[in-house]
Amino acid sequence: MSKFAIIETGGKQYRVSEGDIITIEKLQGDFSQGDKIVFDAVLMTDDGKSAQIGTPYLDGAKVTAELLEEGRSKKVTVIRYKAKSRYFKKKGHRQPFMKVKISSL
């Protein structure tokens, strides 16, 4: 069993270990490729022997990651339609994302 942590970012929770590559919601701020990102909203850590669970977050626990890529996901088509009333709206949406590699727990 390897070390892992559960972090919260972008309203979602992720189970991460060292070396993992995850796709997260785009973070506020100006980041460029190779920048270090620190996640301090750590909910739980486990080293294989014991687990620490936060209430809701662990004090002093940090997970650092390196930014690999920023982008936008595939287009999702959003359609609003009402029958018999000539109402039809069509819109496209591409959600921005960041791909990060976990460097240390």
Rounded to whole angstroms, how far apart are CA atoms 52 and 87?
54
Residue numbers of the domain that contains 50: 4-104
* pTM exceeds 0.75, yes or no: yes
Give the total number of structural domains in the chain. Answer: 1
Name residue 77's beta-bridge partners: 92
Name residue 47's beta-bridge partners: none
Mean per-residue pLDDT for 59-87? 95
Beta strand 42-46 pairing with 76-82: unpaired
**Binning pLDDT at 50, 70 and 90, where does residue 75 land?**
very high
**Binning pLDDT at 50, 70 and 90, where does residue 105 land?**
confident
How far is residue 26 from each of residues 13, 43, 61, 70, 92, measured CA to CA in Å? 14, 20, 22, 8, 18
Mean per-residue pLDDT for 83-97? 96
pLDDT of 24-59, one tens digit each?
A: 999 998 888 989 999 999 999 998 889 889 888 999
Rounded to whole angstroms, how far apart are CA atoms 100 and 66?
5
Q: Are 37 and 22 in contact (CB under 8 A)?
A: no
